[in-house]
Amino acid sequence: MKAAFVKSPFKFEIREVDLPPLKPNDVLLKIKASGICGTDLHTARTEAKDWQTFGHEIVGIVEEIGSCVENVKVGQSVLVESGSFCGTCENCRNGRVDLCHDRAPNVFIRAEKENLTMGFAEKVIIDKQNAVPFEGVPFEEASLVEPMGVALDLTYTVDPRLNDDVLVVGLGPIGLMAVQIVKAMGARRIFVANHSRSKIRIDVAKSFGVEDVILVDKTPISSYKFPKGGVDRALVTAPPYVIPEVLDVMNFGGV
């Protein structure tokens, strides 16, 4: 089978590779689509010191299962959960699986330890815990579920309330999905901030009914005149260096 490998800066190779026999909890997927994450770009730009596999926004069809796999069947369409948890540590047992430091073998760990393929390949081996069945959605759209999970995590953490004024910084796919989620949760006014060069993304945000678009290369966030003086909630999907400027426009009690 073929698999893509990356090495910084932006060097790529397509190689013929063999995958090992499945372990009892393994699921073999025939990959149908794989999204390109900002992390993949960082990896390609500077982080891949040696040749490595990459890609984690994965959807595919189950081709083979290990002897202990019961949650999916051969032929099913599945999403790949890109993180996993042990289920037995103190954090997991208290419902904070997001804080687990003893993760079960997920696609990243398996690939790192055993030199397996990841999303940019014809097939991938994952742990059964990472296989989530789905139906009724095209594979290309289903690959957006992984970044959509980030948008959901943002909104759950910020917890916008009815009639809040909300600022979303960054109009990548995660920011654009966050706009729609925040609107569905009852925000009164949604402002978005982005560089003016991303015209298509700005037009998409406008089609979602945002109150206004702040073009940060022309108007700094800190100098924008918000109707309430600032915003009640802010979701930042841009580099961390913008956070101090966002803090300057938060209303009292804002998140």
Catalytic annotation, residues: 39, 42
Burial per residue of 20-43, b for 16 or more beta-carbon CB atoms within 10 angstroms, e otherwise:
eeeeebbbbbebbbbbebeebeeb
Q: In this structure, how many other beta carbons lie within 10 angstroms of the beta carbon of residue 136? A: 6
CA dist 210 → 175, 231, 254 (Å):
12, 14, 20
At position 72, the amino acid (one-letter code) is V
Note the Cα 245 to chain centre separation in Å: 24
Query: Where on the phi/psi map is residue 172: left (φ > 0), alpha (ψ -120 to 50), or beta?
Result: beta
Note the Cα 237 to chain centre separation in Å: 11
Q: In this structure, how many other beta carbons lie within 10 angstroms of the beta carbon of residue 165? A: 22
Q: In this structure, how many other beta carbons lie within 10 angstroms of the beta carbon of residue 238? A: 19
Which position has the token pair 């402002």?
Answer: 191
The SS3 assignment for 57 reads: strand
Note the Cα 204 to chain centre separation in Å: 19
Tokens of 175: 């920011």
| d(C-alpha 202, C-alpha 93), whole Å | 42
